[in-house]
């Protein structure tokens, strides 16, 4: 969900008018964007559609708010040879496409926008430059055709953008900030992609960094080469199309160029940039009028549907009850007719289709697990106990070291944000003990309970663990003897009509001789006893405690998830 900083006056220039705040809000809303605020001349805009990279820039948002116009650069036509791609990069990063554009010199605002768009596209759409990365160069000094070849890391040397010295690629990887950030995309020691012009001057090491002379675009530049490289040809071309449309919108003339490949690509061996209508990720979609009915509950006429879609920038051919819809070249989201129907919905207005009540009768039902939990909670409340509600995530120390129990490892997160929230609880007692440990100042007695989900490690389960329902009670008071807990347990199980037995079994959490395991139908289903003083010390508890915990799954026939 990219967030953009857009110069408001630049946006107004592209829109061709200056809408007030409220109107701008509405315009952006209709394009799934939200105005988050304004600081000085810059608007903060959040764009939610991750499948519409064309909207991640001021030009794209403005384009979606204006009536459509013609773009000559996307029409079929000849393209001079711009780049010769080498076979050496076929495995590594095969595709490179570029176009040239000439126009009024870049204003500061337009340059800032171009840099931001480059960043957003390469980061979010290009997956941190892995799938697509972009380079922009001053075209005037470039000798065409450009070559795209692999170089050995120790050989090609250039002064990188923002650097003071000429270095080899390996040195750049180590010393330059971009090298450090993006170097992992390329395998160490392997050949590196090098973009060079016909006279041998290095333009850049895609996807890492441009050179400092040809690769440094400045305010006032009016002749640019816009390039993209990557492993997915359609993605590369989509990005190029977006940038071509953006510059066209600013009044620039886009000059298509072609790349020649020594191997077959999905679009042949000579591929033109920008791509044209109906290619790559936006082939024409056949949209039967029935799709509109199915999704919207209304059937528009051919003309109404076609008109709305054309207003949104599509090319539409009407036929017998079907529309042939071609999305513009800067969009890559035409997968299924529903995508065209949504554009029709947006053009008409999301609020223009009235709400309809649901008419089918269905019977409502709570899940068995919820009903069991609620029954047990009712009984515990009836005994005057206070309900607590804890996080499911906790730390390993709480689940193991502090409990004096040797058990298999709890479900542990491989990429936790902090140690405090690194495991899924496999018991409710730690949560109760944590509450007690931080509540020494609350009026006593403390008679607490929790009923809820736990994740018990189970090597035999398909997910390595089972999600179960558990219930636990903790009493902290000046006198918290085993007998009291046993009476509570007996009362609950009597109300639930579950026969049980207590039996001796070792359990480090409790004080020796003052605890038992709970057996339901002969199987171990829980534990009960006075908490071991050492456990209380580890939790910082100074009041005697007794507890029990019981598995609710087996007595009620709940199958674990």
Partner 1 sequence: LYVVGSRPSDAVRLQQAVLEEVAQHPGASLSSLPGDAERETARQMSRGRFALLTIETKESRRWRVTTAGVPLREDAHRTGGTEEIGELTPESLRDGSWKTAKPRAYNLSLQPPRIVAGRRHPYRSFLDGVRAKLVSLGFEEMHGPLVESEFWNMDALYMPQTHPARAIHDVYRVETRSHAGDLPAPLLGRVAAAHERGEGCGSRGWGYAFDRDATARLVLRSQGTALSSRWMAMHAKSPGKYFAIARCFRPDVVDATHASDFYQVEGIVIGTEIHYGHLRGLLEMFGRELAQAEACEVRPGYFPFTEPSVEAFIRHPRIGWMEMGGAGLFRPEVTTPPGVKGQVIAWGLGLDRMAMVALGVDDIRDLFATRLDTLRKMRSAPLV
When computed from its CA atoms, the radius of gyration of the chain, rounded to whole angstroms, is 33
Nearest to 211 by CA among 176, 258, 261: 176
Residues whose CB falls within 8 Å of the CB of residue 386, separated by 6 or more in sequence, listed in order:
446, 447, 448, 449
Determine how β-strand 257-260 pairs with β-strand 80-85: parallel
Q: Interface with partner 1 includes 198 (CB under 8 A)?
A: no
Stretch that binds partner 1, among 81-89, 97-105, 451-459, 539-547 (CB under 8 A): 451-459
Per-residue x/- track, 48-67, partner 1 (CB under 8 A): xxxxx---------------
Footprint (CB under 8 A) of partner 1, residues 289-318? 293-297
Kindly tell me the sign of the dihedral angle through the C-alpha atoms of 38, 346, 113, 181: positive
Q: Which of residues 62-101 bind partner 1 (CB under 8 A)?
A: none
Please state, in angstroms and rounded to a whole number, the distance separating the CA atoms of residues 183 and 175: 11
Whole-angstrom distance, CA of residue 82 vs CA of residue 76: 17
Of residues 46 and 260, the one with the C-beta less far from partner 1: 46
User: At its nearest, how many Å lie between partner 1 and the CB of residue 213?
Assistant: 34
- CA 178-128-187 angle, to 5 degrees, is 70
Under the binding rule (CB under 8 A), the answer on residue 348 touching partner 1 is no
Residues 101-130 that bind partner 1 (CB under 8 A): 124, 127
Identify the residue among 339, 404, 484, 498 touching partner 1 (CB under 8 A): 339
Q: Give the x/- contact pattern for partner 1 in 465-484, rule: CB under 8 A.
A: xxx-----------------
Question: Tokens at residue 332, please?
Answer: 């890559």
Q: Which of 45, 114, 341, 516 binds partner 1 (CB under 8 A)?
A: 341
Q: Give the nearer residue to partner 1 in terms of CB position, either 79 or 185.
A: 185
The residue within the footprint of partner 1, chosen from 20, 37, 188, 351 (CB under 8 A), is 351
Out of 354, 406, 503, 557, which residue is the one contacting partner 1 (CB under 8 A)?
A: 354
Residues in Cβ contact with 101 at an 8 Å cutoff, skipping those fewer than 6 apart: 223, 224, 226, 244, 247, 252, 253, 254, 255
Given 69, 188, 361, 557, the residue binding partner 1 (CB under 8 A)? 361
Exactly one of 39, 78, 187, 367 binds partner 1 (CB under 8 A); that residue is 367
| Closest distance of CB 399 from partner 1, Å | 12
Question: Contact between 495 and partner 1 (CB under 8 A)?
Answer: no
Q: According to CB under 8 A, which one of 38, 265, 390, 491 is a site residue for partner 1?
A: 390
* CA–centroid distance for 374 within its chain: 36
Indicate the helix (H) or strand (E) that contains 120: helix 108-120
User: Interface with partner 1 includes 31 (CB under 8 A)?
Assistant: yes
Distances (CA, A) of 480 to 446, 512, 522: 10, 15, 28
Which stretch, 70-78, 194-202, 322-330, 342-350, contacts partner 1 (CB under 8 A)? 342-350
Could you tell me which stretch among 132-140, 166-174, 458-466, 505-513 binds partner 1 (CB under 8 A)? 458-466
Selected from 164, 187, 199, 418, the binder of partner 1 by CB under 8 A is 418
* 362 touches partner 1 (CB under 8 A): yes
Q: What angle is formed at CA 205 by the lines to CA 60 and CA 160, rounded to 5 degrees?
A: 95
User: What is the dihedral angle through the alpha carbons of 269, 274, 280, 284, rounded to the nearest 10 degrees?
Assistant: -130
Half-sphere exposure of 361 (CA within 13 A, CB side): 0
Show contacts with partner 1 in window 138-197 (CB under 8 A). Answer: none
H or E segment at 294? helix 289-296
Member of 40, 188, 384, 557 binding partner 1 (CB under 8 A): 384
Residue found under tokens 């005994």: 383
CB 474 within 8 A of CB 552: no
Of the candidate spans 61-69, 95-103, 335-343, 549-557, the one that interacts with partner 1 by CB under 8 A turns out to be: 335-343
Q: What phi, psi does 325 have (nearest 5°)?
A: -110, 125
Site membership for partner 1, residue 438 (CB under 8 A): yes
Give the largest CA-CA distance in the chain.
Answer: 92
| Least gap, CB of 298 to partner 1 (angstroms) | 8
Minimal distance, residue 342 CB to partner 1, in Å: 4
Site for partner 1 in 256-285 (CB under 8 A): 281, 283
Instruction: Output 346 or 520, the one with its CB closest to partner 1.
Output: 346
For partner 1, which residue of 317, 370, 483, 523 counts as binding (CB under 8 A)?
A: 370
DSSP assignment letter at 187: P
Query: Which listed range, 252-260, 300-308, 386-394, 516-524, lies at the site for partner 1 (CB under 8 A)?
Result: 386-394
Q: Any bridge partners for residue 286, and if so which?
A: 324
Which residue lies nearer to partner 1 by CB, 455 or 528?
A: 455
Of the residues 164, 187, 415, 503, which one makes contact with partner 1 according to CB under 8 A: 415
**CB of 70 or CB of 414, closer to partner 1:** 414
Q: By CB under 8 A, tell whether 369 contacts partner 1.
A: yes
Nearest CA-CA partner of 545 in 505, 514, 502? 514
Strand partners, 548: 473, 528
For partner 1, the binding residue among 115, 198, 381, 407 (CB under 8 A) is 381
* Both structure tokens of 548: 């029990």
d(CA 325, CA 302): 12
Output the smallest distance, CB 423 to partner 1, in A.
9
* Contacting range for partner 1; rule: CB under 8 A; set: 38-46, 184-192, 360-368, 540-548: 360-368
Q: Which residue has the tokens 């009044």?
A: 251
Please, are residues 100 and 82 in contact by the beta-carbon 8 Å criterion?
yes
């Amino acid at each position: 969900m990219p967030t953009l900083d857009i110069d408001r006056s630049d946006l107004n220039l592209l829109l061709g008018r200056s809408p007030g705040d409220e109107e701008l809000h509405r315009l952006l809303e209709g394009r799934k964007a939200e105005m988050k605020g304004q600081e000085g001349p810059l608007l903060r805009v959040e764009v939610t559609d991750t499948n519409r990279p064309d909207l991640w820039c001021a030009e794209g948002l403005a384009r979606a708010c204006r009536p459509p116009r013609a773009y000559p650069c996307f029409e079929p036509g000849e393209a001079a040879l711009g780049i010769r791609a080498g076979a050496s990069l076929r495995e590594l990063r095969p595709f490179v496409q570029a176009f040239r554009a000439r126009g009024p010199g870049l204003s500061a605002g337009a340059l800032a926008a171009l840099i931001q768009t480059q960043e957003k596209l390469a980061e979010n759409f290009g997956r941190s430059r892995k799938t697509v990365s972009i380079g922009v160069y001053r075209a005037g000094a470039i000798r065409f055709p450009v070559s795209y070849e692999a170089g050995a890391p120790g050989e090609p040397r250039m002064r990188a953008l923002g650097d003071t010295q000429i270095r080899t690629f390996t040195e750049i990887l180590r010393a330059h900030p971009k090298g450090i950030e993006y170097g992992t995309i390329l395998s160490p020691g392997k050949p590196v992609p090098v973009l060079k012009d016909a006279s041998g001057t290095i333009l850049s090491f895609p996807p890492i960094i441009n050179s400092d002379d040809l690769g440094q675009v400045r305010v006032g530049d009016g002749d640019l080469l816009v390039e993209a490289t990557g492993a997915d040809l359609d993605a590369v071309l989509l990005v190029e199309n977006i940038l071509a449309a953006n510059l066209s919108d600013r009044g620039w003339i886009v000059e298509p160029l072609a790349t020649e490949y020594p191997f077959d690509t999905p679009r042949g061996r000579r591929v033109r940039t920008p791509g044209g209508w109906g290619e790559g990720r936006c082939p024409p979609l056949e949209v039967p009028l029935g799709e509109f009915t199915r999704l919207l509950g209304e059937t528009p006429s051919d003309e109404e549907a076609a008109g709305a879609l054309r207003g949104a920038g599509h090319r539409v051919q009407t036929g017998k009850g079907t529309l042939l819809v071609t999305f513009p070249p800067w969009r890559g989201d035409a997968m299924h007719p529903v995508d065209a129907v949504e554009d029709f919905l947006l053009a008409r207005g999301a609020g223009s289709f009235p709400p309809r009540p649901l008419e089918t009768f269905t019977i409502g039902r709570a899940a068995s697990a919820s009903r069991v939990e609620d029954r047990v909670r009712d009984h515990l409340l009836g005994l005057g106990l206070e309900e607590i509600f804890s996080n499911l995530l906790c730390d390993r120390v709480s689940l193991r070291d502090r409990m004096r129990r040797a058990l298999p490892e709890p479900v542990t997160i491989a990429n936790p944000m902090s140690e405090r929230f690194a495991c899924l609880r496999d018991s409710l007692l730690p949560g109760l003990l944590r509450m007690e440990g931080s509540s020494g100042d609350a009026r006593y007695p403390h008679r607490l309970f929790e009923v809820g989900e736990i994740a018990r490690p189970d090597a035999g389960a398909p997910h390595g663990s089972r999600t179960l329902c558990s219930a636990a009670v903790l009493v902290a008071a000046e006198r918290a003897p085993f007998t009291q807990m046993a009476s509570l347990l007996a009362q609950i199980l009597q109300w639930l009509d579950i026969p049980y037995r207590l039996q001796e079994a070792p359990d480090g959490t409790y004080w020796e001789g003052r605890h038992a395991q709970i057996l339901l139908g002969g199987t171990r289903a829980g534990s009960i006893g006075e908490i071991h003083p050492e456990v209380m010390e580890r939790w910082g508890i100074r009041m005697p405690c007794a507890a029990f915990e019981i598995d609710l799954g087996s007595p009620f026939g709940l199958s674990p998830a």
